[in-house]
Chains A and B, each alone.
Chain A
Amino acid sequence: MRKTLYGNTQLDKFDVIVIGSGAGGGPIAHVLAAAGQKVLVLEAGPCHFDNIDDPAHDIVARFSNDELKIERRNFMLQNENVEPRTWRTAAGDGPRIETLTGNVQFLPKTVGGGSVHADLKMPRFESQDFQFGTLLKNVQNASFADWPVQYDELEPFYAWGERLLGVQGKLGSNPFESKRSGEYPMPPGPPMYGSLVVQKGLSALGYTMFPYPTAVNSIPYDGRPPCNNCGFCSSYGCPINAKGSSAVTVLRKALLTGNCQLRAETRVVRLVANGSGTAITGVETIDPLGARVTFTADRFVLAASPIEDVRLLLLSGGLGNSSGMVGRNLMFHYQTIAFGIYGERVHGYRGRAVAQGFADFRGKPNDAAHPLAGITEISGGGLPVGEASYYARVLAQAKAGKWNGKLFKALMRESPARDRVMLLVVQAEDAPQVTNIVDLDPDYVDLDGLPVPRCTYKSHPFEVANGQFYEPKLLDIMMKSGARYAAITPRDDVPSSQHIMGTLRFGNDPKTSVCDKNGKFHDIGNLFASDGALFPTSSGYNPTMTIATLALRVGAAMVNPASPASVIKP
């Protein structure tokens, strides 16, 4: 029998139910449980962490350096044939763009959520990023808005989050970073050789490479070992728990308080509301065997990630939507990816996916010489099964669909796309638009017969133009660093970023936002959101440090609404 119940299994009355155990769910469970609240965490995915609730033993993770299991067989992802998502660019496309029905912005599905998959690059946002309502008013057909909390108020929560998750980095190494109250909890780990090769190009052109702030142990920290740079990091759970996922940090801490119960493989399918829709009374779930079970509590937290949060509200009759903003302003980072193939083997597949980055392309609002884009990750190539598929696609295109086995074998041996490649990945600001929206597909259903989410999403000319501005500069870097071949990766129509934000934006005005400054729904007295759904704008830095930070702050405000900062532990 699979184990699905963890923590204090005796609890049957709960103060708070948290839906989702990922980057937003774990931190809030920790704050609330540490404050003595009885917390139930409901997680749709399975738990691959043995001993997660056992204080006497270290966690044993069932992840592994196994490309097939993780990348091909969806060990910890939704499965598109039984849990599809659909996509279209605009209502004019009809119900959906049929051929792309499937894995649209796939849902990381496991205890720990996407914080398990991510290689956890965890930079903070810059202070300017919270003010684009004011600074970018003039962008047509975009809905930039100021955040109801600003950097200075979040800074102590950022620092708390960095301590809890264990973030490595070097204060002052990113010339664009906003003021920090202290050094990172850990020094940077060793660099990857490929980044040092790329650095030659960056230095020649006057850009500043820095160690990427990452929630990965560089030294022993919080009872977990240092990362050994195993090379199977992004998309892979960490086999030795050196990665500070929600699961092995905050969620484990919550479970060890005795105040928290975790139910894995338990999917919430409906929020049960009172007659007027102003309070939630319970949640209906599908349990690990497929049975419907209802749980009750006083307060409820949505941390199922932006797309599933909205789906759940819509499956519950369209709750919390007096503003008409539920599901709107869906954002993904606008990624521009350049690759450089070198004559030498730079072995970028060894290491923690991304060890260095630069922020010279983050830019400034309204500055034509430095348009707003985003932080740039210096990343290595993939692994052989994926590499083989890539060559198969290239050969099919270059040779008019004719397979050439000898050439394929030469490609695998010489490995231009794994052993010799480095990537520059820009994570650029995505202009929010009210027409980019999550709703329910009118036809497609999941395994349990429930309508699946449909994303209507199209990039705004703002990010397209800004991305194009930096494309030649990315190629300059590659060529100056000694690449033999360099190009911009052609873009897919479905946006490929796994940074999902917006849909329940928070703000001070109930007419234009769904949640208030403390993450509470304007319309519903006991429902909160604590994930990237709250973001009014996307920034151009990886979102998860800010997701965790907001989750800590939402939790702290639930504990002490008058003074959330007083809840922070040194």
Chain B
Amino acid sequence: MVGGAATLLASSPGCKGSSAASGLFSDEQRTALRTFADVVIPPDDEPGGADLGAVPYIERLLTAFDGNDTPAIFAGGPFSGRQPFPDASGHASTNFPTSDFADLIELDRVSEASWRLRILGSPGLSNGGPNQKLTGAIASLRDQLVSGLDAAISSADPPLAQQSPDDREATFNAQPPAFKNLIIELVTEAAFAAPEYGGNIGLAGWKMCHFEGDSQPLGYSQWDGGKHVERPESPLSTANPGPDVAPISPDVDQLLKLVIAFIGGRTA
């Protein structure tokens, strides 16, 4: 007899094979989302949250259960194809693996139920989730975003499009903390996670924070048959070559001192 999740998994609302971008947000909501993504990570000489791909990232996540394809929750492994294999002498070769990240991994029964509950809320599971009687119905990620965006749009005066960057930050800061935190979480995931999830366009998020990204199969030390050798530009056991790419600025120094004083630490 087959029971459990086979019967627990209700069909997704809006499960009509809709394409990633269609039907999820109105144009106005999508524009507001881009605006807030740029509040979280403001554009300057490098891209902001919007151009780092916040909207495609969020749309990809929220439509994971639309259609019959493997939900885009877990990218495959082990390699992305961005880094080469080492050669026999331990140096980077010109031989790159194929991209396994592009092959999505199927969800097991429990993970699927969990992600349906998160993305689709209680309607995503036929019993509404295991503890609905105790916790009440769980709102879908979609509803949390859409209702939060609508509330922000209607409260913005003048409309977001007419506001300066500073005013937009103030409008964002006036939103309820739960909505703000959700936007910050999703925008920063988009900016700094692997690009296969839809964000970090052109690896610009990793470039911005001076992060090399996924390092396999090269890694930071390579076996040459007798010892480990290291990448001169990104060494493991010695200091980085060259000057600091972005030394600590006075604003960051001030913040760190504040935090350290608050938790009773020490400053040199």
- Nearest B residue to A407 via CB reads B251
B221 contacts A229, C-beta separation under 8 Å: yes
B219 proximal to A (CB < 8 A): yes
A192 proximal to B (CB < 8 A): yes
Tell me how many residues of B have a C-beta within 8 Å of chain A: 103
Interface string of B241-268 (1 = CB under 8 A from A): 0001111110110011111101111111
- Nearest B residue to A62 via CB reads B77
Interface string of B218-242 (1 = CB under 8 A from A): 1111110000101000111111100
Interface residues of A in 393-434 (CB under 8 A from B): 394-395, 397-398, 401-416, 418-420
A448 proximal to B (CB < 8 A): yes
Task: Return A424 CB to nearest CB of chain B, in Å.
Answer: 13
B209 contacts A413, C-beta separation under 8 Å: yes
- Nearest A residue to B258 via CB reads A398
- Nearest B residue to A67 via CB reads B193
A282 proximal to B (CB < 8 A): no
B221 contacts A190, C-beta separation under 8 Å: yes
Given A65-B214, A290-B109, A384-B192, A403:B184 Cβ within 8 A: yes
A82 contacts B265, C-beta separation under 8 Å: no
B118 contacts A485, C-beta separation under 8 Å: no
B206 proximal to A (CB < 8 A): yes
Interface residues of B in 31-79 (CB under 8 A from A): 38-42, 44, 73-79
B219 contacts A228, C-beta separation under 8 Å: yes
Stretch binding the partner chain, chosen from B18-26, B98-106, B153-161: B98-106
B117 contacts A81, C-beta separation under 8 Å: yes
Given A60-B78, A385-B189, A445-B130, A291:B3 Cβ within 8 A: yes
Q: Which chain A residues border B267 with CB–CB below 8 Å?
A: 484-485
Bound complex: CA A443 to CA B192 (Å): 39
Task: Return A48 CB to nearest CB of chain B, in Å.
Answer: 8
- Nearest A residue to B265 via CB reads A487
Stretch binding the partner chain, chosen from A309-317, A337-345, A495-503, A518-526: A337-345
B223 contacts A219, C-beta separation under 8 Å: yes
Task: Return A330 CB to nearest CB of chain B, in Å.
Answer: 23
B111 proximal to A (CB < 8 A): yes
- Nearest B residue to A239 via CB reads B78
B118 contacts A81, C-beta separation under 8 Å: yes
B221 contacts A189, C-beta separation under 8 Å: yes
Given A401-B173, A403-B173, A486-B265, A290:B4 Cβ within 8 A: yes
Task: Return A71 CB to nearest CB of chain B, in Å.
Answer: 10
B1 contacts A292, C-beta separation under 8 Å: yes
B257 contacts A193, C-beta separation under 8 Å: no
Q: Which chain A residues border B6 with CB–CB below 8 Å?
A: 289-290
A413 contacts B188, C-beta separation under 8 Å: no
A448 contacts B4, C-beta separation under 8 Å: yes
Q: Which chain B residues border A226 with CB–CB below 8 Å?
A: 223, 228
A569 proximal to B (CB < 8 A): no
Given A389-B185, A405-B39, A475-B265, A81:B246 Cβ within 8 A: no
Task: Return A483 CB to nearest CB of chain B, in Å.
Answer: 7
User: CB within 8 A of B215: which of A192, A230, A290, A385?
Assistant: A230
Interface residues of B in 188-212 (CB under 8 A from A): 188-189, 191-194, 197, 205-206, 208-211
Task: Return A376 CB to nearest CB of chain B, in Å.
Answer: 18
Given A394-B259, A488-B265, A79:B185 Cβ within 8 A: no
- Nearest A residue to B78 via CB reads A239
Q: Which chain B residues border A192 with CB–CB below 8 Å?
A: 236-237
A69 proximal to B (CB < 8 A): yes
A392 proximal to B (CB < 8 A): yes
Given A66-B101, A488-B264, A416:B76 Cβ within 8 A: no
**Which residue, A343, A412, A419, A443, has most C-beta atoms of chain B within 10 A?**
A412
Task: Return A297 CB to nearest CB of chain B, in Å.
Answer: 23
Interface residues of A in 67-103 (CB under 8 A from B): 67-69, 72-75, 79, 81-84
B137 proximal to A (CB < 8 A): no
B146 proximal to A (CB < 8 A): no
A490 proximal to B (CB < 8 A): yes
Bound complex: CA A297 to CA B19 (Å): 50
B188 contacts A385, C-beta separation under 8 Å: yes
Tell me how many residues of A have a C-beta within 8 Å of chain B: 106
Bound complex: CA A521 to CA B236 (Å): 48
B15 proximal to A (CB < 8 A): no
Bound complex: CA A419 to CA B108 (Å): 36
Bound complex: CA A58 to CA B70 (Å): 26
A449 contacts B130, C-beta separation under 8 Å: yes
**Which residue, B108, B194, B239, has most C-beta atoms of chain A within 10 A?**
B108
Task: Return A103 CB to nearest CB of chain B, in Å.
Answer: 12
A228 contacts B223, C-beta separation under 8 Å: yes
Interface residues of A in 33-68 (CB under 8 A from B): 45-46, 48, 60-68
B223 contacts A220, C-beta separation under 8 Å: yes
B10 proximal to A (CB < 8 A): no
A82 contacts B114, C-beta separation under 8 Å: yes
Q: Which chain A residues border B75 with CB–CB below 8 Å?
A: 64, 66, 68-69
Bound complex: CA A290 to CA B7 (Å): 9
B205 contacts A384, C-beta separation under 8 Å: yes
B86 contacts A228, C-beta separation under 8 Å: yes
Interface string of A316-344 (1 = CB under 8 A from B): 00000000000000000000000001011
**Which residue, B211, B247, B263, has most C-beta atoms of chain A within 10 A?**
B211
B194 contacts A66, C-beta separation under 8 Å: yes
Given A65-B214, A402-B173, A484-B267, A289:B109 Cβ within 8 A: yes
- Nearest A residue to B82 via CB reads A65
Given A412-B209, A447-B113, A265:B108 Cβ within 8 A: yes
A384 contacts B220, C-beta separation under 8 Å: no
B5 proximal to A (CB < 8 A): yes
A447 contacts B77, C-beta separation under 8 Å: no
Q: Which chain A residues border B268 with CB–CB below 8 Å?
A: 479, 482-485
Q: Which chain A residues border B1 with CB–CB below 8 Å?
A: 291-292
A444 proximal to B (CB < 8 A): yes
Bound complex: CA A457 to CA B189 (Å): 33
Given A81-B114, A286-B4, A75:B265 Cβ within 8 A: no
Given A406-B42, A409-B41, A240:B109 Cβ within 8 A: no
Bound complex: CA A389 to CA B191 (Å): 12
Given A79-B114, A416-B256, A447-B110, A405:B169 Cβ within 8 A: yes
A277 proximal to B (CB < 8 A): no
Given A61-B78, A64-B77, A230-B219, A193:B194 Cβ within 8 A: no
In the A-B complex, the 6 residue pairs with the closest CB atoms? A290-B4, A487-B265, A228-B219, A64-B77, A65-B214, A79-B114
Please name 28 pairs of A and B residues whose Cβ atoms are closer than 8 Å in the assembled complex, sorted by A. Answer: A2-B106, A61-B78, A64-B216, A66-B101, A66-B193, A68-B193, A69-B75, A69-B77, A79-B111, A189-B221, A193-B238, A220-B223, A225-B223, A229-B236, A230-B220, A290-B8, A345-B240, A347-B235, A350-B220, A395-B255, A407-B252, A407-B255, A411-B252, A412-B41, A412-B208, A413-B210, A416-B256, A485-B260
List 11 additional contacts besides A398-B258, A401-B177; criterion CB under 8 Å.
A46-B111, A229-B220, A229-B221, A240-B78, A289-B6, A343-B247, A347-B234, A350-B215, A388-B192, A410-B251, A489-B263
